[in-house]
Homo-oligomer: A and B are copies of this chain.
């Protein structure tokens, strides 16, 4: 098998090449069977490449650089992105998927921008009506729970929710190696009489059909996202988006408060100093970097979005995710 080639939009995100170049190099060091192509301003990328630590020197010859434009201007709407012939780094790296020069793309641009361009330039799978965005959230157990959709769709029907269940289960089974993933449907309660009509209809459809490749466990409530009892949580994009972002906001607030508590008075400050290594471990848990990378499911090739504020380590996680999905040929096998 020839090595996988991953196209990296090297200009996107809050930190641009500073995060993407060393992030890509870190991912290469961990995944021997892959190469990357960085798309962006060559002079900026070369500077970052020359700064790679010696310990990453051995991956240098698995990195290509292709000159491309900048990141997207701030606040550019998806419709303007589609209208303009803006030849930025996102456009160039997605174009590599279209032309077959790469089998997966990673970008830290805004979700809406990536999705709009990817649908146009990469295209959708024939048997998927709606793409979905999925991300992993940490749970009390060792394995994460994948939630989808996170905002690709806001007006969905019951059949779309069923598609999300099939796609999410395939991803977890193929990429994460969970033999028979447990799939739950997010709802306001666990009784069968509860919820929006489309959710109740999706529940009926999921119960009626025979799924041999995942186990449908029925309704789940929001708090069950973190119990580790479910591998995949299905919902419409509005619900998933608000739930994910409110969780991120809460984690950030609690992190700040914890820091704040250890700054009130000399006693707390002293103990806080002593507790630093323990608190650092805990802050890692609060850190979204750990599972950085949202997968765009339903496209003809693997596309992974990194958090805009991810630094090198977080970006590397998203690149590894893209490598894993591409290695398993996930797009082709998504509706299996």
Q: A residues bordering B, Cβ < 8 Å?
A: 75, 77-79, 112, 138-140, 151, 154-155, 186-189, 191, 193-197, 199, 221-227, 235, 237-239, 241-254, 256-258, 261-262, 264, 267-268, 271-272, 274-275, 277-279, 281-282, 285-286
For residue A193, which residues in chain B have a CB less than 8 angstroms away from its CB?
Answer: 77-79
Given known contacts A196-B154, A275-B271, A275-B275, A226 and B238 CB-to-CB distance under 8 angstroms: no
Number of copies: 2
- Among B226, B235, B252, B271, the residue within 8 A (CB) of A226 is B252
- Among B199, B257, B262, B268, the residue within 8 A (CB) of A238 is B199
Interface of A is mostly: helix
- Give the distance in Å from the alpha carbon of A221 to the alpha carbon of B235 in the complex: 17
Residue of B whose beta carbon sits closest to that of A248: B223
For residue A188, which residues in chain B have a CB less than 8 angstroms away from its CB?
Answer: 151, 154, 237-238, 241-242
- Give the distance in Å from the alpha carbon of A262 to the alpha carbon of B275 in the complex: 9
Asked if A235 and B242 sit within 8 Å, CB to CB, the answer is yes
Asked if A223 and B246 sit within 8 Å, CB to CB, the answer is yes
A109 vs chain B, min Cβ distance (A): 14
- Give the distance in Å from the alpha carbon of A78 to the alpha carbon of B245 in the complex: 32
- Give the distance in Å from the alpha carbon of A57 to the alpha carbon of B14 in the complex: 60
For residue A251, which residues in chain B have a CB less than 8 angstroms away from its CB?
Answer: 250, 254
For residue A79, which residues in chain B have a CB less than 8 angstroms away from its CB?
Answer: 193
Asked if B226 and A246 sit within 8 Å, CB to CB, the answer is yes
For residue A195, which residues in chain B have a CB less than 8 angstroms away from its CB?
Answer: 154, 238
- Give the distance in Å from the alpha carbon of A239 to the alpha carbon of B271 in the complex: 40
Q: Which of A112, A139, A243, A246 has the largest number of chain B CB atoms within 10 A? A: A246
